[in-house]
Amino acid sequence: MSKKKKVKSKKGATRLQEKISPEAEVNKGDKWSFVHSRWFEIAALALVVALGLLVRLEDVRDWKAHPELALYKGEPLLTTFDGYFYLRLARDLAEGVYEPVDGDRAVPDRPKRPWPPPLLSVLGAAAAKVTPWSINWIGAVLPCLLGILLALPLYSLGRFYGGPVMGLTAVLMGLLSHYYVYRSSLGWFDTDCMNVTWGTGVTFAFLLFAVNKAKRRYLYFGLGIFLYALFLWWWDSTPAVTTVISFVPFAVALIFFYRPKPKEGMIFGACMALAGVAVLMWQGFDLPVRIVQQVLSVFQYISTKKAAGIWPSMGATISEQAIPTFSEIVAKTTDSLPAFILAAVGLAWLFVKKPKDSLFLSVPIILAALAFFFAKRFLVFLAPVTALGIGFAVSELWRLRSKYRLCALAVPVLVFATAWFPFKKDMGKNFWPKEPPHLVEGMDFAGKATPENAVIWAWWDHGYPMQYWARRGVISDGTFHDEERSVYNGFPYVAHSYRLAANFINFYVARGKPGFRTFYKAVGNDPAKGLKRIKEILAAGPEKGRTILENIKPEPVREYKTTEDWLRFFFPGETRPAYIFLDWRLLGTSYWWYWLGSWDIEKREGIHPFFKPLFGVIVKGTTATDGSRFNADLVKGIAQFGDLKFPIKKAYVHDGRRIRSNDFPYKEGLNFELFVPGGFAALEDQNISESVFNKLFMRHMAPSIYFQPVALKAPSFQLWKVKGDTF
């Protein structure tokens, strides 16, 4: 009886081996041929992986050739804002100061830090302890080393579906896929460098669990659970999405493949049920509902481009949330339309030839499809999909070589031609840091020029870098930048009143979002009315604010009952020291931060200003010019930009000591601002011209009672100390 079972098990194992390697039969009976082909396979795989590493590291030479764009004090910078979140945690782990609560994020909320620390940060900290590299070099290089690990699941899947030729081709095309290279290249210290790897790895593990009929299938099941756990640890910010990505292939295995003997199935089912109950008891019996809610929340975030509810849509303001065109999708993946078509044909061919086995690719395909309809950030998931499609088409054409000898020559040429376009694009690209050295200098300076408990009011995309380089608190960052918070974040820049801007900053630093909602509750749970009143009171100051409060008579909320209580609420005496950071990047993103900061809750709209920054501007006689396309006649009040002419209503020229202003007799037109020492200027509309941002950054003007200059290095950066009224 046991002998029969043993034979059956061997047959099952043999069938699986042949299924994983369809070309194995070519080498049967020829031991030396098999050995030689296996060594050739290993060498080819190593070469392809080395090529993938090359296109990720080759930017080092450009960074060293142009340190003013990529290095700060000889150290590399990151190419993503969010990377500084993980790098900061890695540094804290390496320095032994990883605390459970983070007092410098989302001030004044003090959110909990992730526990356990993110796997990426743990790897970075471990590398810092066992290598002589600095944490900044680790943050730059580690993503490249992790990014090429996609070769493992891609090769495994390719070998399963079409043999070594498909596996090698899939690895080649996957590691060269341009958007994946971008998000796993030098400086991209973020989870994208392995999200695809974990997802495809879990898929392959559950695929083996499905097709294997022997007892070892449960080892593959255990491998799938283990990879899911690592994936969960890795992509810690979206556990629900990670769970769905991982368990869809498991569900496919159960529904379409898993047909055990009754006793075996009962034991496995009982174990799964016990494990499920244990998880629910640990995480709460509403866990399935929370998973669905989180997935829907993420989907809403990436898909909503218009205002939903009373607040604006953040998705519309983030570039990676934009929907790419078809030509952009092709350019950022295969960089060749014929290659993209070949991938689609190969994928369809795979589904026709192996319909059940192909179901395991449903999750990567669905994630890749989201790029076509919702956001370009999903282009990263097109890497394995296009790679496997091209790989299968190539492997099927290669099988025809015995029937059509031309295929033996044509297929290598096809692979070379298909890989050449993305390789050339990858080698020709330059991925520069998002925060250039001159801005990092400002953040580093802010850390040295401010008290240890200071809060730096910066736009949210500077949140993580500011926490890393300045080691100071911020109110928003790459995670905490919801719609409501971003409206508050932008308002001090947009406000026309210095007093209002300073008081608003101090109020938020002390009370945060809960403070706004406390007052909203006091005026009938009406955010539109409440925010309007908050601005009126903060603009008026304590004395006149008293009159406003006495007139509106807010309802008592918690300890805030009398007018004096509310005055202490709005004008707190003790807050963390506040500073505002203005910088070069705000010049180019004013279209969005002004829109958010000027958001009108009642009308549900904001203002998109006209603001055109100009650099390298000098004054020649009575003309301001950049020596190229821009000229402004400061006597006639006419600005010319290329072939377009604009009337100037008012001009401000700051020579470094004083400002000269000049009004021109035009009813319609733009304002012109020029800061001569910095050589930068701007054409702007009246809205942004009178904003606190513009008056501070372009004119260096502010009453010292509210704003005191700490560093004025425009157009790079400025740092101002903020002082509000107190009661």
Across-strand partners of 672? Answer: 651, 683
**Cis status, amide bond into 116, omega within 30 of 0:** yes
The neighbour count for residue 561, using CB atoms within 10 Å, is: 13
Measured CA to CA, the distance from residue 397 to residue 416 in angstroms comes to 14
481 inside domain: no
Contact yes or no for 71/59 (Cβ under 8 A): no
Q: Say what percent of the chain tops pLDDT 70.
A: 93
pLDDT in tens, 193-244: 999 999 999 999 999 999 988 888 999 999 999 999 999 999 988 888 889 8
Per-residue b or e along 503-539, where b marks 16 or more CB atoms closer than 10 Å to that residue's CB: bbbbbbbbbbbebbbbbbbbbeeebebbbebbbebbb
Q: Please give the tally of structural domains in the chain.
A: 2
Question: Which residues contact residue 692 at a Cβ distance below 8 angstroms, ignoring those fewer than 6 apart?
Answer: 492, 493, 494, 495, 496, 497, 498, 501, 702
Question: Checking phi first, is residue 644 left (phi over 0); if not, alpha (psi -120 to 50) or beta?
Answer: beta
Long-range contacts of 219-227 (CB under 8 A, 24+ apart): 224/249, 224/250, 227/198, 227/201, 227/202
DSSP structure class, residue 381: G
The predicted pLDDT at position 319 comes to: 66
Winning range, highest mean pLDDT, from 4-13, 135-144, 299-308? 135-144
Range of the domain at 626: 581-722
pLDDT in tens, 109-165: 999 999 999 999 999 999 999 999 999 999 999 999 999 999 999 999 999 999 999
Longest dimension (CA), the chain: 105
Choose the final residue of a domain: 428, 448, 471.
428
Q: Say what percent of the chain tops pLDDT 90.
A: 68
The predicted pLDDT at position 17 comes to: 44
The predicted pLDDT at position 27 comes to: 42
Contact yes or no for 378/368 (Cβ under 8 A): yes
Q: In this structure, what token pair is assigned to residue 396?
A: 């099927």
Q: In this structure, what token pair is assigned to residue 482?
A: 């919801």
The predicted pLDDT at position 300 comes to: 67
**Cis status, amide bond into 260, omega within 30 of 0:** no
- For residue 28, CA distances in Å to 18, 33, 659 come to 11, 9, 87
The predicted pLDDT at position 201 comes to: 95
The predicted pLDDT at position 195 comes to: 92
Measured CA to CA, the distance from residue 385 to residue 180 in angstroms comes to 12
Measured CA to CA, the distance from residue 562 to residue 451 in angstroms comes to 34
The predicted pLDDT at position 3 comes to: 43
With bands split at pLDDT 50, 70 and 90, how would you rate the model's confidence at 308? low
The predicted pLDDT at position 25 comes to: 41
653 inside domain: yes
CA-atom Rg of the chain in angstroms: 30
| CA 29 and chain centroid, separation | 53
With bands split at pLDDT 50, 70 and 90, how would you rate the model's confidence at 643? confident
The predicted pLDDT at position 465 comes to: 96
Put simply, whether the predicted model's pTM sits higher than 0.75 gets the answer: yes
Per-residue pLDDT, averaged over 457-477, amounts to 96
Across-strand partners of 579? Answer: 456, 721
415 inside domain: yes
Within 25-82, where are the H helices?
31-57, 59-65, 67-70
- For residue 197, CA distances in Å to 21, 142, 207, 318 come to 21, 15, 15, 25
Is the per-residue pLDDT at 4 higher than 50?
no
Kindly report the backbone phi and psi dihedral angles of residue 663, in degrees, each rounded to the nearest multiple of 5, phi listed first: -95, 140
The predicted pLDDT at position 15 comes to: 47
Question: Which residues contact residue 48 at a Cβ distance below 8 angstroms, ignoring those fewer than 6 apart?
Answer: 151, 168, 171, 172, 175
The predicted pLDDT at position 307 comes to: 60
Q: If you search the block for the tokens 């501007």, which residue do you land on?
A: 617
Choose the final residue of a domain: 428, 458, 480.
428
Measured CA to CA, the distance from residue 302 to residue 295 in angstroms comes to 11
Is the per-residue pLDDT at 21 higher than 60?
no
Is the per-residue pLDDT at 9 higher than 60?
no
Q: If you search the block for the tokens 């869809």, which residue do you land on?
A: 248
Q: In this structure, what token pair is assigned to residue 130?
A: 């066992």
Contact yes or no for 521/557 (Cβ under 8 A): yes
| Average pLDDT of the chain, as a whole number | 89
pLDDT in tens, 553-570: 989 999 999 999 999 999
Q: In this structure, what token pair is assigned to residue 640?
A: 């010319």
Is the per-residue pLDDT at 13 higher than 80?
no
Choose the final residue of a domain: 410, 428, 446.
428
Contact yes or no for 498/707 (Cβ under 8 A): yes
Q: Which of 26-35, 425-434, 493-502, 600-609 has the lowest mean pLDDT?
A: 26-35
- For residue 40, CA distances in Å to 197, 384, 405, 413, 607 come to 25, 23, 22, 19, 63
Question: Checking phi first, is residue 187 left (phi over 0); if not, alpha (psi -120 to 50) or beta?
Answer: left
By the 10 Å C-beta count (0-12 exposed, 13-18 middle, 19+ buried), 704 is classed as: exposed
Question: Checking phi first, is residue 163 left (phi over 0); if not, alpha (psi -120 to 50) or beta?
Answer: left
Question: Which residues contact residue 30 at a Cβ distance below 8 angstroms, ignoring those fewer than 6 apart?
Answer: none
Measured CA to CA, the distance from residue 305 to residue 374 in angstroms comes to 9
Contact yes or no for 347/366 (Cβ under 8 A): no
| Amino acid identity, position 271 | C
99 inside domain: no
Kindly report the backbone phi and psi dihedral angles of residue 419, in degrees, each rounded to the nearest multiple of 5, phi listed first: -80, -25
40 inside domain: yes
The predicted pLDDT at position 298 comes to: 72
Measured CA to CA, the distance from residue 585 to residue 514 in angstroms comes to 29
With bands split at pLDDT 50, 70 and 90, how would you rate the model's confidence at 672? very high
pLDDT in tens, 376-414: 888 989 999 999 999 999 999 988 888 888 888 888 999
- Three-class SS of residue 356? helix
The predicted pLDDT at position 238 comes to: 84
Is the per-residue pLDDT at 23 higher than 50?
no
Contact yes or no for 291/588 (Cβ under 8 A): no
Measured CA to CA, the distance from residue 228 to residue 442 in angstroms comes to 41
How would you classify the pairing of strands 455-457 and 578-583? parallel
516 inside domain: no
With bands split at pLDDT 50, 70 and 90, how would you rate the model's confidence at 455? very high
456 inside domain: no
Measured CA to CA, the distance from residue 470 to residue 440 in angstroms comes to 9
- Of 150 and 371, the structure prediction assigns the larger pLDDT to 150
Within 470-604, where are the H helices?
483-494, 498-522, 527-552, 563-570, 584-588, 590-597
The predicted pLDDT at position 305 comes to: 57
| Amino acid identity, position 183 | R
435 inside domain: no
pLDDT in tens, 320-364: 667 888 999 999 999 999 999 999 999 999 999 999 999 999 888
